[in-house]
Amino acid sequence: HDAATRFIERHPESQRLHKLSLDSLPGGNTRTLLHTAPFPVFIRKGEGSELWDEDGNKYYDLVGELSAGLYGHSHPTLQKVLTETIQNVGLSLGATNIYEQRYASLLCERFGLERVRFTNSGTEANIHCLAAARKFTGRRKIIVFRGAYHGSVLSFGNGIPENNIDQTDWVLLQYNDSEAVREAFMQNDDIAAVILEGIQGAGGFISASLEFLRTIREEGEKAGALMILDEVMTSRPDLITLGKYLGGGLPFGAFGGRGDIMDVFNPLAPGALAHSGTFQNNTLMLHSGYAGLSEVYTAEVVHSLNAQGDDLRLRLQRVFAGSKLCVTGQGSLMCVHATNVGLRAEQITCRDDVAGVEDTDLKQLFWLELVNAGFWVQSRGTITLNIAMSAAALDEFVEAVEEFCRRYRSLIVV
């Protein structure tokens, strides 16, 4: 109660703007994920790794737009290339352009793809990828995992999504359950593909075991079903989908992989699948994405960002030892979980491990107090680092988490 009162006192302008937004947006919201209680904080601007809200409060940005903000806000290289593109190239050209080829060939090289296509979002990339798998195999069913988030209409946190027009063709299994995968292939001879995240993101940054990935690969190969990895990790998928930071801060999605499968979109072939979209070859994204990946997110930067994330997770694990809190994840992606039974990170292998035992009040309190202390984290516990974040800012963050744990000691002991 006390934390919520301080939150309300610190954000009068956000509260006013939320009321205003209720008139034109359902619940004052256009991205369900961003709705928070008692009301959302309205952020006015970002610079580097920092954010300012409409009440003038400053935050370190630990959300990083869930990796789409990996470059930090207004990275100078991206600012320059975007300005030059507006001045010298123009925006959408309504025509094939050389920038498509340039960025496509960089993505193919970087992610080991034979062919790639652009979309406007990760959601779209997954939808088209699933269409390609169905066309290529001539089958309908798709294996997917509970807790998976493959985009707005492909969200499997609570079963088959109601907003998906395709209600019947899903085979929903437990993540990291190899036996369930084997059984599903025995019971269904019409599986077109298995789609999964190498690390379930929205599900709470839970990693797939190597054995699970191998089972999907082997069982799929035996059955003639494709493996689709939503955002590249390890393993050897037939198709992958890409998104977020690869747009260099702009709306982006892409999917690709084996040339023979991607050929279902070849407009020269009879009966090819159509895949169109006004903005999918827009010049701003093609320039910003290309510059980000070739000039900013170099191999050394990838390595140091992930090392920084691994180090932060270790430090948080030490602070959380023996409490109801723990942190899962890999590299720069992580999620703080609060469970009544004090689950440790290694005990969390799927969303359902957490679902029934989550301490939602503690999670909300953690979010309120960190926002009150000037750290922009997500209400569901997600933390995504960006490359502009300084070591000193992360030290301050760990201190704030320590302070939270000291202050609410009686609430966090198991």
The catalytic residues are: 149, 230, 244
> Contact region for ligand PLP (CB under 6 A) — 2-10, 116-124, 314-322, 405-413?
116-124
- For 403, other C-beta atoms within 10 Å of its C-beta total 14
Q: Looking at 149, 265, 376, 404, which residue binds ligand PLP (CB under 6 A)? A: 149
Q: Looking at 14, 36, 85, 121, which residue binds ligand PLP (CB under 6 A)? A: 121
Residue nearest to ligand PLP (CB): 122
Nearest distance from C-beta of residue 128 to ligand PLP, angstroms: 12
Window 329 to 368, contacts with ligand PLP (CB under 6 A): none
Is residue 48 at the binding interface for ligand PLP, with CB under 6 A as the rule? no
Contact in structure between 258 and 236 (CB atoms under 8 Å): no
Q: Looking at 61, 230, 238, 353, which residue binds ligand PLP (CB under 6 A)? A: 230
Q: Looking at 50, 61, 231, 238, which residue binds ligand PLP (CB under 6 A)? A: 231
End-to-end, the C-alpha distance of the chain in Å comes to 21
Reading the block at residue 400, the tokens are 């704030």
Q: Which is nearer to ligand PLP, 208 or 400 (CB)?
A: 208
> Contact region for ligand PLP (CB under 6 A) — 8-16, 121-129, 137-145, 277-285?
121-129
Q: Which is nearer to ligand PLP, 96 or 276 (CB)?
A: 276
- Binding residues for ligand PLP, rule CB under 6 A, total 16
- Per-residue exposure over 130-157, b if at least 16 CB sit within 10 Å of its own CB, e if not: bbbbbbbbebebbbbbbbbbbbbebbbe
Is residue 239 at the binding interface for ligand PLP, with CB under 6 A as the rule? no
Q: Which is nearer to ligand PLP, 252 or 297 (CB)?
A: 252
Is residue 122 at the binding interface for ligand PLP, with CB under 6 A as the rule? yes
Nearest distance from C-beta of residue 143 to ligand PLP, angstroms: 16
Is residue 156 at the binding interface for ligand PLP, with CB under 6 A as the rule? no
HSE-up of 43 (CA within 13 Å, CB side)?
19
Q: Which is nearer to ligand PLP, 197 or 353 (CB)?
A: 197
> Contact region for ligand PLP (CB under 6 A) — 54-62, 96-104, 117-125, 386-394?
117-125
Is residue 155 at the binding interface for ligand PLP, with CB under 6 A as the rule? no
> Contact region for ligand PLP (CB under 6 A) — 194-202, 285-293, 345-353, 362-370?
194-202
Nearest distance from C-beta of residue 332 to ligand PLP, angstroms: 14
Is residue 204 at the binding interface for ligand PLP, with CB under 6 A as the rule? no
**CA–CA separation, 362 vs 325, rounded Å?**
9
Is residue 64 at the binding interface for ligand PLP, with CB under 6 A as the rule? no
Three-state SS letters, the chain:
CHHHHHHHHHCHHHHHHHHHHCCCCHHHCCCHHHCCCCCCCCEEEEEECEEEECCCCEEEECCHHHHCCCCCECCHHHHHHHHHHHHHCCCCCCCCCHHHHHHHHHHHHHHCCCEEEEECCHHHHHHHHHHHHHHHHCCCEEEEECCCECCCCCECCCCCCCCCCCCCCEEEECCCCHHHHHHHHHHCCCEEEEEEECEECCCCCEECCHHHHHHHHHHHHHHCCEEEEECCCCCCCCEEEEEHHHHCCCCCEEEEECHHHHHHHCCCCCCCCCCCCCCCCCHHHHHHHHHHHHHHCCHHHHHHHHHHHHHHHHHHHHHHCCECEEEEEECCEEEEEEECCCCCHHHCCCHHHHHCCECHHHHHHHHHHHHHCCEECCCCCEEECCCCCCHHHHHHHHHHHHHHHHHCHHHHEC
Is residue 288 at the binding interface for ligand PLP, with CB under 6 A as the rule? no
Q: Looking at 69, 243, 248, 292, which residue binds ligand PLP (CB under 6 A)? A: 243
Is residue 46 at the binding interface for ligand PLP, with CB under 6 A as the rule? no
Nearest distance from C-beta of residue 148 to ligand PLP, angstroms: 8
> Contact region for ligand PLP (CB under 6 A) — 129-137, 146-154, 288-296, 330-338?
146-154
Is residue 123 at the binding interface for ligand PLP, with CB under 6 A as the rule? yes
Is residue 197 at the binding interface for ligand PLP, with CB under 6 A as the rule? yes
**Which residues lie near ligand PLP (CB under 6 A)?**
66, 121-123, 126, 149-152, 197, 201-202, 230-231, 243, 253
